[in-house]
Chain A
Amino acid sequence: MSGLALRVIPCLDIDGGRVVKGRSFAELRDAGDPVELASRYEAEGADELAILDISATVEGRKTALGVLRSIREAIGLPIVVGGGISSLADAERLLGAGADRVSVNSAAFRDPGLIGELAARFGVQCVVVAVDARRAGGGQPGLGSWELVVEAGRRGTGRDAVGWAREAADRGAGEILLTSIDRDGSGSGYDLELLAAVAAACPLPVVASGGASEPGHFAEGARAGARALLAAGAFHRGELSIGELKAYLSREGLEVRT
């Protein structure tokens, strides 16, 4: 037992200036004002805030940077930002606007050296590698049970997701943000086998993402090996308050910040 609390992390998917949420990274719907949501989550007891910039345009990215600045001014929690980061300069821009940590995904797969460069420049604590995994269909050789997918879930890589998480750890990542594409937006709970496989293969803290909608899902995620539990839709839609969720986790014997 490390003594650190299990973290609950609401995630804001930002497109331009608004929070959106979809299913399996598609079918996006408007879910509210980002600063309002971030402030509400801080008041409810969120331990950290994740911001994923899914803007597809340069203009949208500029707007999202402004949103990050406004959220930074409003809340006193750690902020991790991901989405389209492909260079040290991208990371520096986000850190300057108020991010505490950055999350890299597709660019790290294209250029794995980026992970070590980010760690050398900004420190290991700053570097999160986001691993999006999809259950593999028919036993392709060397693929394992989950395939790493990139480009917001659109492109398969033919690479074993668990092996990639381990490589990211070796290259200097400080944390793995693990999303099940199959479960994302489904509300049917985290992919617990995936979580357990990555937690066992990789010495880093793992953040569970994709599918949690009920308190029980979060407890299961923690028991499968996650050190932090991320969700979006269930919080945005008001189906689940972070305060109630943490009270539940505490009753379940899991240590949370109160």
Chain B
Amino acid sequence: MRAARVAVAATGVANLASVLAALRRAGAAAEAVAAPRALAEAELALLPGVGAFGAAASALRARGLDEAFLERWREGRPSLGICLGMQLFFEGSEESPGAAGLGILPGKARRFGPGLPLPQLGWNRLAAGPAGSREAALLEPGWAYFANSYLIGEAPAGSIAYRASYGEDFVAALEAGPLSDGRPALLLCQCHPELSGAWGAALLSRWLAGGKGGSR
């Protein structure tokens, strides 16, 4: 079976070693890619993210990588966003007022309420989304590793895959925008699947299999 090819966006502000290693362990041919055209046309693309929302959004624009992800969305090519890379698919974030995200999904990231140490740092238990959502298509909920101070509270109707709670409920991962053949165009993870042990590896493998047109 041919290895799925994954272009990992080299935004210059995220550490890529963990993500590349996890994709390769899952059997993918994964490379860091800085060229917008190559990213736009790649079979699969991944937007990683650490650091501040505003700096990451600027870095994406400065490299023309924002357009690459927008084109992928329009063309129905699958993308995966992780942590800050998930939040960048939304309109913005309380963390950096005035900085625009990709705006592919409605809503903004906001800060966790007071009372618990931030960032949320460690393993949290996921739960399936509300009835009627597409969680049935995903893996059994497990434990996943998080490192975030900002959260997405609501996702587009029918798209929530998993939720978790840290003082309040938030979206731990979601799928959005089914392709004509039923595969999701976007998998967005607030958690870090690349650091989430066997469960994270299973989630990545499932995404890679979808990207090759294989069955779930």
Binding site for B on A (CB under 8 A): 2-5, 7, 42, 47, 69, 72-74, 76-79, 95-98, 100, 122-126, 174-175, 203-205, 227-228, 257-258
B92 to chain A, nearest CB (A): 19
Chain A residues positioned under 8 Å from B157 (CB to CB):
none
Stretch at the interface among B70-78, B100-108, B130-138, B194-202: B194-202
In the complex with contacts A73-B24, A76-B25, A98-B21, A205-B121 CB distance below 8 A: yes
B148 contacts across to A, CB distance below 8 A: 125
Asked whether A4 lies within 8 Å of B166 as measured between CB atoms, the reply is: yes
Alpha-carbon gap, A126 to B145, bound state (A): 14
Task: Evaluate contact between B119 and A257: CB separation under 8 angstroms.
Answer: no
Query: 1/0 per residue B112-137: CB within 8 Å of A?
Result: 00001111111111000000000000
List of A residues within 8 angstroms of B17 by Cβ = 69, 72, 95-98
Determine whether the beta carbon of A257 is less than 8 Å from that of B123. yes
Q: In this assembly, does B15 line the interface, its C-beta being within 8 Å of a C-beta of chain A? A: yes
Q: Which residues on B sit within 8 Å (CB–CB) of A228?
A: 122
Q: How many residues of B contact A (CB 8 A)?
A: 37
Q: A227, B197: Cβ atoms under 8 Å?
A: no
Q: Which residues of B contact A47 (CB under 8 A)?
A: 122-123
- Interchain CA distance A174-B201 in the complex, whole Å: 26
Closest to B201 in A: A76
B123 to chain A, nearest CB (A): 4
B167 close to A100 (CB less than 8 A) = no
Q: Are B18 and A124 in contact (CB under 8 A)?
A: no
Q: Tell whether B96 is near chain A: CB-to-CB under 8 Å.
A: no
Bound: A42/B165 CA distance, A: 25
Give the distance in Å from the alpha carbon of A4 to the alpha carbon of B118 in the complex.
12
- CB nearest to A5 among chain B residues: B123
Which residue of chain A has the shortest Cβ distance to B115 in the bound complex?
A: A2
Chain A residues within an 8 Å CB radius of B119 = 123-125, 174
Q: Which of B35-84 contact A (CB under 8 A)?
A: 50-52
In the bound complex, residues from chain A placing their C-beta under 8 Å from that of B18 are: 72, 76, 79, 98, 100
Q: How far is the CA of A228 from the CA of B197 in the complex (A)?
A: 17
The 8 Å CB contact of B116, one of A2, A79, A258, is A2
Q: How distant is A122 from chain B, measured CB to nearest CB, in Å?
A: 7
Q: Report chain A residues within 8 Å CB of B165.
A: 3
Q: Give, as a whole number of angstroms, the nearest-CB distance from B146 to chain A.
A: 8
Q: Contact between B22 and A76 (Cβ–Cβ < 8 Å)? A: yes
Residue of A nearest to B84 (CB): A123
Which residue in A98, A205, A257 is a CB contact (below 8 Å) of B117? A205
**Residues of chain A within 8 A of B196, CB atoms compared:** 76
Give the docked Cα–Cα distance between A204 and B122 (Å): 13
Q: Say yes or no: A100 contacts B195, CB within 8 Å.
A: yes
Q: How far is the CB of A132 from chain B (nearest CB, A)?
A: 22
CB–CB A78/B166 < 8 A:
no
> What would be 12 A-B contacts, judged by CB atoms less than 8 Å apart?
A3-B125, A3-B167, A4-B122, A76-B198, A79-B18, A96-B15, A123-B50, A123-B147, A125-B121, A204-B117, A205-B122, A228-B122
Cβ of B25 and Cβ of A5 under 8 Å apart?
A: no
